[in-house]
A = this chain, B = another copy of it.
Amino acid sequence: MKDDTAKTHTMRAVIQLRDKIMRGELHGGMRLFEVSVADQLEISRTPVREAMSRLTEEGLLERVRSGGFVVRTFSLADVTDAIELRGVLEGTAARLAAERGVPAHDMERLKGIVAKLDDCFGELPEDVDFEGYAELNARFHHELARLSGSEMVCREVERITRLPFASPSAFLPDEANIAAFRRSLQMAQEQHHTIAAAIEAREGFRAESTAREHARAARRNLDYVMSQDRSLIERVPALGLLAG
């Protein structure tokens, strides 16, 4: 199944290296030598090189001036700033959507996603369909980027989103069964409504500032994990590549 994208040695190398970086097995700043990686993955240098180049595009590796690659280092500040940047970019997407207007059927699709997100909340506060929420949330954010009507903006949103800890779903999957997080989910869903309404009403400023603040929910969750309950770090996969 997953071999759909892993037909070639290059893609397998991309996947394996990405995994190792994410789980912190290859820590930030570590130099990756073509030969040793090739030995370890039991393929030749050529696809390894190709894979490292792709991971550089993805932002997980960096080229060294004199040649070769190192694993990119991410500090806590980088995570915070990446989330802020996602907010800024999604805010821009929302503003442009509002200012330029969106076709009716696209608007309906967005509102449809928001409505389905409502259905993820049951009668009781602790009665939340996390899995469904996560998937619909991802779709909402994807759709929001598209609604900007700008391929350029869409591309940059998806680019920053590809950093695992900056993704809209980074802090969702599993640890949300804490009261504080449940409340933040409710609030986030309120913001989904607001963003959609602002776009429909052509209120650019409101759309932008709400989308920006919406991203900062992730930052609040990050702060909570780091300062209140560091045991959660391991349960947020994306935080495996944090320096330190």
Contacts and interface: CB of A to CB of B under 8 A. Distances in A.
Interface of A: 46, 49-50, 53-54, 56-57, 77-78, 81-82, 84-85, 88-89, 92, 96, 150-153, 156, 160
Contact of A152 (B56, B85, B89, B92): B85
Contacts of A160: 156
Contacts of A77: 150-152
Contacts of A150: 77, 81
A26 B81 CA distance: 37
A88 B92 contact: yes
A31 to B, nearest CB: 19
Given A81-B151, A88-B88, A156-B160, 11 more contacts: A49-B50, A53-B53, A53-B54, A53-B57, A77-B152, A78-B152, A81-B153, A84-B153, A85-B92, A85-B153, A85-B156
A85 B90 CA distance: 11
A152 B82 contact: yes
Contact of A151 (B46, B78, B156): B78
